[in-house]
């Protein structure tokens, strides 16, 4: 799976799941309030019926002098009666002596209390208080809703993942086709590029007039540009299949060698190349990958430098730096420079893959990079341990 595809799937899933989650949470909250109110109404209705039964029994006790009659008791609840001053007259449970008369229906310690105002009074009882177990607590309602919400989210998440992959399948197939095409094309480019460069070197050994030399130099510059692009494509498409050969390398000699390689390009823009060697930094890295870093930095410096400007390369014990006097970048452009296929000037050639390759390599070897740039002034890129 391509990194871009993963990013797309992740973004779509996050957006879809977050919006769905908020919608479900809102609906769950509304449903919880609805269920809670229904629960309260049902409890209140049942409690009124039970209180009225007790009230009827109190009436019988007051009107009937039969001493065999007792205060009514029920298995599923406890009850108590209070006078108009809210003083306890009688209770089937000792804990019913303390009651909150400010609420008609309330919950305490997983028990439900209901206060019924009796009319008319019998046996001096103005208030009948019921205490019963909370069979269906609010917490149970909330728990059930939460479990249902999580289940719905899981189903929606799996379904959306399947749908996103299904939608992206044609794009994935096209990307795989493009990837195979690039790999095959890269492989096929090797022989003609090598042939062109070899023949140019042979022609350079033959004495030519200035006009012919200029033409040959142009061909060589174009061939080197194609060769650099080829090496970048090889790294992007075949890097995972190549064997690493990490070693401790002195960077300064390699910088000098690559300056020589790019000399013809630099001369074509009449760039003044200044190499300042204050020391040599050593990096433990694959030489091919180090060359890719340097070549891409030189290639960018060449492409974006103004004619007759200056290119400064500095080597120290801790870092090496490449500074040009090109078009420069602003802060927003610097923040995006490592994104693949990013280009800020359509008039300049290239595919916008150079800095993404540099970033990939320095991340692999934990090397640091710093870009200082000012629009219209130029860019300095520092590579350090």
Please report which helix (H) or strand (E) contains residue 121, including its range.
strand 111-122
Strands 310-315 and 272-277: parallel
Q: Picking from 71-75, 206-210, 284-288, 362-366, which range would have the lowest pLDDT averaged per residue?
A: 206-210
CA gap 85, 82 in Å, rounded: 8
Strands 310-315 and 282-286: unpaired
pLDDT at residue 82 in the model: 93
| 165: three-class secondary structure by DSSP | helix
For residue 351, pLDDT over 80 is answered with: no
* Contact between residue 227 and residue 264 where contact means Cβ atoms under 8 Å apart: no
pLDDT at residue 259 in the model: 93
Domain range annotation of the chain: 3-136, 243-384
Measured at the alpha carbon of residue 371, what is the angle toward residues 368 and 377, in degrees to the nearest 5?
Answer: 160
pLDDT band of residue 345 (cuts 50, 70, 90) is confident
pLDDT band of residue 186 (cuts 50, 70, 90) is low
* Contact between residue 252 and residue 291 where contact means Cβ atoms under 8 Å apart: no
Tell me which residue has tokens 């795989």: 176
**DSSP per position, 185-235:** HHHHHHHHHHHHHHHHHHHHTS---HHHHHHHHHHHHHHHHHHHHHHHHHH
Architecture of domain 3-136: 2-Layer Sandwich (3.30)
Q: pLDDT by residue (tens digit) across 282-332? A: 999 999 899 999 999 999 999 899 999 999 999 999 999 999 999 999 999
* Contact between residue 174 and residue 30 where contact means Cβ atoms under 8 Å apart: no
CA gap 96, 78 in Å, rounded: 8
pLDDT at residue 26 in the model: 83
Q: CA 372: distance to chain centroid?
A: 28
Q: pLDDT by residue (tens digit) across 232-284? A: 777 777 665 667 889 999 999 999 999 998 988 899 999 999 999 998 899 99
**Helices 210-238 and 287-304 sit at what angle, rounded to 10 degrees?**
130
pLDDT at residue 136 in the model: 57
Mean pLDDT computed over 371-379: 93
pLDDT at residue 129 in the model: 93
Q: How would you class 220 by CB atoms within 10 Å of its CB: exposed for 0-12, middle for 13-18, buried for 19 or more?
A: buried
- Give the CATH fold of the 243-384 domain: Heat Shock Protein 90 (3.30.565)
pLDDT at residue 20 in the model: 77
Q: DSSP secondary-structure letter at 341? A: T
Mean pLDDT computed over 200-214: 75
pTM value is 0.55
CA gap 291, 245 in Å, rounded: 13
pLDDT at residue 69 in the model: 73
Measured at the alpha carbon of residue 246, what is the angle toward residues 243 and 251, in degrees to the nearest 5?
Answer: 130
Q: pLDDT by residue (tens digit) across 136-174? A: 556 676 677 778 778 887 887 788 778 777 777 777 777
pLDDT at residue 371 in the model: 95
In order of 7, 252, 282, the CA distances from 249 in angstroms are: 36, 9, 5
């Amino acid at each position: 799976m391509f990194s871009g595809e993963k990013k797309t799937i992740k973004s779509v899933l996050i957006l879809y799941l977050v919006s769905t989650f908020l919608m479900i949470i809102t609906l769950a909250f509304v449903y919880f309030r609805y269920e809670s109110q229904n629960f309260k109404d049902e409890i209140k209705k049942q409690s009124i019926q039970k209180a009225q039964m007790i009230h009827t029994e109190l009436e019988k006790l007051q009107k009937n002098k039969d001493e065999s009659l007792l205060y009514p008791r029920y298995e599923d609840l406890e009850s108590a009666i209070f006078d108009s001053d809210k003083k306890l007259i009688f209770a089937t449970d000792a804990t019913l002596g303390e009651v909150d008369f400010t609420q008609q229906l309330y919950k305490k310690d997983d028990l439900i209390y209901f206060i019924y105002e009796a009319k008319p009074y019998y046996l001096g009882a103005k208030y009948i208080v019921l205490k019963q177990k909370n069979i269906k607590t609010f917490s149970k309602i909330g728990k059930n809703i939460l479990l249902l919400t999580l289940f719905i989210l899981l189903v929606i998440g799996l379904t959306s993942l399947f749908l996103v992959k299904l939608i992206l399948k044609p794009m994935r197939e096209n990307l795989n086709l493009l990837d195979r095409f690039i790999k095959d094309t890269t492989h096929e480019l090797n022989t003609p590029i090598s042939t062109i460069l070899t023949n140019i070197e042979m022609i350079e050994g033959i004495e030519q007039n200035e006009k012919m030399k200029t033409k040959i130099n142009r061909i060589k510059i174009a061939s080197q540009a194609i060769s650099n692009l080829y090496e970048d494509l090889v790294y992007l498409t075949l890097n995972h299949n190549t064997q690493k050969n990490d070693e401790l390398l002195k960077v300064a000699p390699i910088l000098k060698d690559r300056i020589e390689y790019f000399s013809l390009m630099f001369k074509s823009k009449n760039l003044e190349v200044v190499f300042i060697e204050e020391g040599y930094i050593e990096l433990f890295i694959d030489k091919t990958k180090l060359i890719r870093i340097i070549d891409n930095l030189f290639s960018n410096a060449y492409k974006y430098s103004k004619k007759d400007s200056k290119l400064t390369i500095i080597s120290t014990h801790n870092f090496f730096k490449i500074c040009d006097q090109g078009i420069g970048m602003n802060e927003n452009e610097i923040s995006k420079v490592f994104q693949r296929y990013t280009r800020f000037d359509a008039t300049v050639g290239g595919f916008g893959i150079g800095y993404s390759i540099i970033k990939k390599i320095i991340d692999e070897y934990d090397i640091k990079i710093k870009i200082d740039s000012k629009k219209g002034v130029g860019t300095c890129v520092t590579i350090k341990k």
